[in-house]
Amino acid sequence: MALLLLLVQGLGGLNGALLVAITFTMTMGAGMASPAALSRALTAAPGLAGSAAGLYGFGQMAMGAIGTQLVGLGEDPAMACAVTQIAITAAALASYRFAVSRQAAGAQG
């Protein structure tokens, strides 16, 4: 959805209704993915569930704070918002890949 927002804004076709539709869809996706991500984080090391919950909450708040600051940069707020969302999503996916690879390496050795 962030890529769609970037594309629509880049082509000059963004209007209020389209912005609401893209934002709604993006928020629904995040709302559906978040419980699964939290569950996965809490079960990675069952003895450290409290620490995992705290770290997960910290990460969420930190990315929200960083994203809020980054969205204010640039001349076009919609473009800044889309680019920020893409960057934060890429960071989240990279973190997940790193964690999965570390978990797999620990299981093998």
Quickly list DSSP for 37-90. Answer: HHHHHHHSSGGGHHHHHHHHHHHHHHHHHHHHHHHTSSS-HHHHHHHHHHHHHH
Mean pLDDT score of the chain: 90
What is the pLDDT, as a whole number, of residue 102?
86
Closest listed residue to residue 5, CA positions, set 98, 102, 79, 107 = 79
User: Which of 25-29, 37-41, 64-68 is the least confident region?
Assistant: 37-41
